[in-house]
Chain A
Amino acid sequence: MLLIDDLILRALGITIPGLDLIYTLEIIKNLAYKELYNPEKVKSRIKENQMLYEFGEISRGEFEETKSSLMEQLKFTERFEEMNLSVRSDIFS
């Protein structure tokens, strides 16, 4: 089944203002997701937490608590990355 969507129209050089806006919003949404669920950022925060503990700026308890929460976050962001939600699926074919 040939699905005529904004990607095909754009490839043919046809732009439709309404669809263009949706397309731009999708790009912004995906960028926001990537920023929010970025495993590298969480890894940096794990390292920072470790560093602050080593420098004696936070207690063992604070370190453990933050680490545990960040590890959960890391698992979630890695799962999110694997799911790759920004990929379009043709559910009608």
Chain B
Amino acid sequence: MNTDNQNGKYVYCIVKAQDEQESFGNIGFQGKEVYTIKYKEFSPVVSDAIFKKYDIGDEEDIKTHTLVVNEVMKKYSVIPVAYGMVFKNKKLVEISMRSGHKAMRKAIKIVDNKVELGVKIILPKDFDGDMQKAEQCKSEFSKSLKQIAFDSKDLNLFSKRLIMNGSFLVEKDKIEAFSDEVERLTTKYDSFKVSYSGPWSPYNFVDIHILSQQRGGFR
């Protein structure tokens, strides 16, 4: 019998190490305990899990991953790890931590005390209005929010109706100012639809690939 499948460790995110192993409760996959493993000054947040492919179409699994990361974020700044990162055993997690140590030291400086917030603006259904106003809306949102944010990324406009898809890295003490500005601009440009989401762990600002197969490994 192959015991590797039973010894898997699913990694949700990485935090700065604490003196003692910490438990976040039985909130992992299959109701397993989520806990930290210490590696130098970092701790991957893991749960025991079956070594298998985690499908991007599985809404429940994605929810579990997100829920755990959100729970950890209540207490710590996190280095995000891509959904689906399960390792055959603890030893392989440690090997990954060793090879990614330098990149993680850089990443923690970027994400420390910050969160990611997302803003999408879409044109109303069957929009037949003023494209100049749409451009002005996009431009003002982008300019004002970038002034408050620590960093920002323009993400892929995956739909013809999407005129802005921005991701913003915001210091925790500036979240309120950022939210107020989003609200002010949403009211000003009320003919457009705005989606404001977060806080997320900063997936778009950290890009570490370790032991990767295609997009695998830590990200």
Min Cβ gap A37→B in Å is 18
Min Cβ gap B37→A in Å is 33
Q: Which of A23-66 contact B (CB under 8 A)?
A: 43-44, 47-48, 51, 54-55, 57
Residue count of chain B within 8 Å CB distance of chain A: 10
Question: Do B57 and A48 touch (CB < 8 A)?
Answer: no
| B122 close to chain A: CB less than 8 A | yes
Question: Do B156 and A44 touch (CB < 8 A)?
Answer: yes
Which applies to chain A's interface (DSSP): helix, strand, loop or mixed? helix
Question: Do B120 and A67 touch (CB < 8 A)?
Answer: no
Question: Do B57 and A51 touch (CB < 8 A)?
Answer: no
CA distance A69 to B158 in the complex (A): 18
Query: Interface digits, B158-182 against A, CB 8 Å rule (1 contact, 0 not)?
Result: 1100100000000000000000000
| B105 close to chain A: CB less than 8 A | no
Min Cβ gap B82→A in Å is 15
| B195 close to chain A: CB less than 8 A | yes
Min Cβ gap A55→B in Å is 6
CA distance A71 to B158 in the complex (A): 16
Question: Do B156 and A51 touch (CB < 8 A)?
Answer: no
**CB nearest to A70 among chain B residues:** B57
* A44-B57 in contact given A55-B122, A55-B195, A57-B125 (Cβ < 8 Å): no
* A71-B122 in contact given A51-B159, A55-B195 (Cβ < 8 Å): no
Residues of B within 8 A of A51 (CB): 120, 122, 158-159, 162, 195
Min Cβ gap A18→B in Å is 41
Q: Which of B167-219 contact A (CB under 8 A)?
A: 193, 195
Please list 23 pairs of residues, one from A and one from B, whose beta carbons are closer than 8 Å in the complex, sorted by A's number.
A43-B158, A44-B156, A44-B158, A44-B159, A47-B158, A47-B159, A48-B158, A48-B159, A48-B162, A51-B120, A51-B122, A51-B158, A51-B159, A51-B162, A51-B195, A54-B195, A55-B122, A55-B193, A55-B195, A57-B125, A67-B57, A71-B57, A74-B57
